[in-house]
Amino acid sequence: MERSDPWAGAVAAPLAGRLEKPRTAGLTMVIDKGLGLRETEDLLELAAGAIDYIKLAFGSSLLYPEPVLERKIALIRERGIHVYPGGTLYELAFVQGKAAAFAQRARDLGFTVLEVSEGTVDLSPAGRRRMIEAALEAGLAVVTEVGKKDPASRLQAAWALEQAAADLAAGASLVIIEGRDSGVGAGAYDQEGRPREELVEVLLREFPRPEALMWEAPLAKQQLYWIRRAGPNVNLGNVQPGDVLTLEAMRRALRGDTLKRALCRLTEVFGERAQEC
């Protein structure tokens, strides 16, 4: 992680095992809905070591002045962070018959990844493969998203597993379970933003490559749930920029709700028996 330790010798994070960058698990993807260059610089200066991917949400990158977009992408890449446009924009390009041109242009702008999704547009299996192939042929990595943004379209575990396996076989490096930017009524969550336990149980048990599974989790209560459910190195996405250090603190047991559990695992704390939990 890109950080020094201002508290060295005085206090240490109580939870061992949090992976440092470059890492293949415990990934954090930030959703950027329109940070300016100065805001981006501030975020990266403070928290680049806790960020693995930044997604320029939905079709927002189409609205940037080109020099600003190119500079922003460069700033992110300078910190060793992957950056990609929201999958909605690639869906639109596919509908317009421009998937290959979109992938090439994304590469030319400096993006390192493309997201293949069908949150809005319905894709045939062949169409989804073509989108993955176009990105790979342009020299980009691929992440895919499973699930719809429409609350009426309930994600089924069997279909999600089948789609994830097909995506990974086609060359995707990461499969993201839909949660929207709201964390409510889509994919892994019900209308109250609560994880759908029956879906979660099956996916955690049967997902073909657990390290390639990411859960969109825009709400702090959802992030806490996943850390408790799957450990500090669970992959989480759609994290708000202002919540990056909060999430990293939870991963490292530096916030009360995860610190208590970490202390409970110790046999002795400051010379005393740890509390029972």
How far is Cα of residue 59 from the mean position of the Cα atoms in its chain?
Answer: 17
- Is 152 part of a structural domain of the chain? yes
| pLDDT of amino acid 262 | 83
Tell me the average pLDDT across 136-147: 98
- Is 1 part of a structural domain of the chain? no
pLDDT higher than threshold 50 for residue 167: yes
Q: Which two tokens stand for residue 103?
A: 């992938």
| Residue whose tokens read 């002795």 | 268
- Is 173 part of a structural domain of the chain? yes
Which pTM was predicted? 0.93
Name the phi and psi angles at 145, rounded to 5.
-120, 135
| pLDDT of amino acid 269 | 42
Q: Which residues make beta-bridge pairs with 144?
A: 116, 175
For residue 121, what is the domain's CATH number?
3.20.20.70
- Is 189 part of a structural domain of the chain? yes
How far is Cα of residue 152 from the mean position of the Cα atoms in its chain?
Answer: 24
pLDDT higher than threshold 70 for residue 230: yes
- Is 84 part of a structural domain of the chain? yes
**Residue ranges making up the domain that contains 116:** 28-273
The dihedral of CA 215, 129, 91, 141: what is its sign?
Answer: positive
**Considering its fold, how many domains does the chain have in total?**
1
